Amino acid sequence: MTSHHVRRFVASVAVLSLGPIPARAQRDDAVRRVTLQQAVEIALAQGHQARAAAAARDAARYRHDAFYSRLLPQLSLTGTLPSYNRSIIPVLQPDGSTLFRAQNQTEAELGASLSQTLPFTGGSIFMQSSLSRISVSGTENLLTWSSTPFVVGLQQPLFQANTIGWDRREQPVRIEAADRQYRESREDVAIQTTLLFFDHHSAAVELQTARTNAATNDTLYTLNQGRFQIGSIGENDLLQSELALLRARTAAAEAELEFERTKAALLMGLNLPAATGLEIVVPSLPPDFPVDTAIAVTEALGNLSVLSALELQDVQARRSVAEAKYGNNFSATLTASYGFNATGTNFGRAYDELLNAQRVRFQVDVPIVQWGAGKEAVRAAEAEREQVARLAEAQVEQVEHDARFAALALVQARRNLALSATSDTVAQKRFDVAYNRYVIGNISIDNLYLAQQEKDEARRRFVLALRGYWQAYYRLRRATLYDFERGERIR
């Protein structure tokens, strides 16, 4: 069948699917007509799944920004304002005896700290300033102030894995994976919306078919009643006609319920009010554009989040190996600081006669006897890295497979749609001929009902083919994150 014929036929089915909408929803001012593309856009704009995907993407972006913000200088203020302790404490007497005396102690402290991480070394530098006050009353009164106006220091791990450096390697991959997952989630929403859309379309066509069959069988039953009265047909044919009428009415009632159910499901998927009047407009003609399997594979390998996830797993595996190796050897931590401090009985004297304050600490950790635990930890990390590499190869092959056959499936779906459209047209013509021949008495009622069943089955197959085409269309987009119709990546 030519594109012109397919266009005319699909348009007729689209109009047909709108006919059975209940009368209460047929007023133009109360009905919202929605095409497939519009339904997808509505779902992406306000659907629950689309909003959840956007929230997940935003959360990933906020974590990404927070990570890099923590690499900038950090200023913090700490304090104890105040700490009060009233208790009975032992007091040593001049004669060597101990007496218990009541004592009140009040402490207050305020400090400021400015720190900066060193991503390339994994260490940090800091500057601090603090002031504290202690007041004691009881057996004797005491008031003292202590100040540290300025301290600058360094903390540097040595012969250890650079955790900050590895975090910086992971973070760009994480945000890239999150952005790709967001685009994939939107395509998942498009696929789900397509399924809901064509569920409702199928129900509309089925309802129209059921009503048409009920009307046709009612006419045939009336005709057969007259024929039976004049003796041209037997009672068996009359009962068969009546049974067909009853079945058609039952099918129409069931089809109307299914129509309402699929409509409610579509409204829910679009996050529209349940009372919204809705008519769907089926695409008149599927878009015609080339689909190259090589392009599909290339774009899938360059766009999908699973590839970013594999890259992240590789970085994490290499990190585990590095940490295991460092954990099996000598390591150390150097902490050094230099500044000034002083003490006095009042606030002013706490800043007089400042004294130098230096601190150096070199802490080492040397594994001596591990009974092979460190070596086995390295081997385990290397084995896990090998596992990640092998699974990555399998996943890449799976991505290539899915992309290639998603492209082929769309090409096949386009062929199936054309063939189903032709079959439906032929089946409809055959039924019309059979009906006219039965009216003039040239064929039996069995042949008429067989033609009716084949007509209905051909219509169902066409609707399924139309659904299958658009499902394949959006699944190809999801499998590649590439818009073949426009020839560009999905952003």
Per residue, the 3-state secondary structure of 95-142, as one string, reads: CCCEEEEEEEEEEEEEEEEEEEEECCCCEEEEEEEEEEEEEEECCCCE
pLDDT of 288 > 90? The answer is no
Average pLDDT over residues 356-382: 91
For residues 239 and 96, the model is more confident at 239
For residues 309 and 30, the model is more confident at 309
Pairing of strands 74-92, 331-344: unpaired
pLDDT at 141: 80
pLDDT of 299 > 80? The answer is yes
Distance (Å, rounded) from C-alpha 107 to C-alpha 83? 5
Question: For 274, which DSSP code?
Answer: T
Average pLDDT over residues 56-85: 93
The CA R_g of the chain, rounded to the nearest whole Å, is: 40
pLDDT of 282 > 50? The answer is yes
Average pLDDT over residues 388-417: 95
pLDDT of 467 > 90? The answer is yes
**Residue type for position 108:** A
For residues 129 and 11, the model is more confident at 129
**CA atoms within 13 A of residue 467's CA, in its CB half-sphere:** 19
- CATH architecture classification, 3-64+169-312+388-489: Up-down Bundle (1.20)
Distance (Å, rounded) from C-alpha 71 to C-alpha 195? 46
> Quick check: 138 and 170 in contact, CB under 8 A?
no
pLDDT-derived band at 82 (thresholds 50, 70, 90) equals confident
Distance (Å, rounded) from C-alpha 157 to C-alpha 257? 70
pLDDT of 23 > 60? The answer is no
For residues 435 and 92, the model is more confident at 435
pLDDT of 155 > 60? The answer is yes
pLDDT in tens, 450-460: 998 899 899 99
Distance (Å, rounded) from C-alpha 433 to C-alpha 81? 97
pLDDT of 11 > 70? The answer is no
Tell me which H or E stretch contains 207: helix 163-230
The share of the chain scoring above pLDDT 70, in percent, equals 94
For residues 488 and 2, the model is more confident at 488
Beta-carbon contacts of residue 75 (< 8 Å; ≥ 6 apart): 112, 113, 114
pLDDT-derived band at 417 (thresholds 50, 70, 90) equals very high
Q: 291 vs 20, 287, 411, CA distance in Å?
A: 37, 12, 7
pLDDT at 186: 96
> Quick check: 227 and 220 in contact, CB under 8 A?
no
pLDDT at 70: 94
Q: Is 368 helix (H, G, I), strand (E, B) or coil?
A: coil
Q: 304 vs 49, 290, 292, 300, 307, CA distance in Å?
A: 19, 21, 18, 6, 6
> Quick check: 57 and 182 in contact, CB under 8 A?
yes
pLDDT at 416: 94
pLDDT of 14 > 70? The answer is no
pLDDT-derived band at 9 (thresholds 50, 70, 90) equals very low
Name the residue among 363, 373, 318 with its Cα closest to residue 336: 363
Instruction: Tell me the helices (H) and strands (E) count for the chain, helix number first.
Output: 9, 10
pLDDT of 54 > 50? The answer is yes
For residues 209 and 101, the model is more confident at 209
pLDDT of 6 > 70? The answer is no
- Which residues make up the CATH 1.20.1600.10 domain(s) of the chain? 3-64+169-312+388-489
Average pLDDT over residues 9-18: 44
Q: Mean pLDDT of all residues in the chain?
A: 89
pLDDT at 411: 94
pLDDT of 30 > 60? The answer is yes
Distance (Å, rounded) from C-alpha 255 to C-alpha 481? 37
Average pLDDT over residues 240-250: 91
Distance (Å, rounded) from C-alpha 465 to C-alpha 10? 11
For residues 26 and 36, the model is more confident at 36
pLDDT at 1: 42
> Quick check: 139 and 101 in contact, CB under 8 A?
yes
pLDDT of 169 > 80? The answer is yes
Q: 394 vs 124, 295, 310, CA distance in Å?
A: 41, 20, 11
> Helices (DSSP H) in 304-372: which residue ranges?
305-327
pLDDT at 139: 67
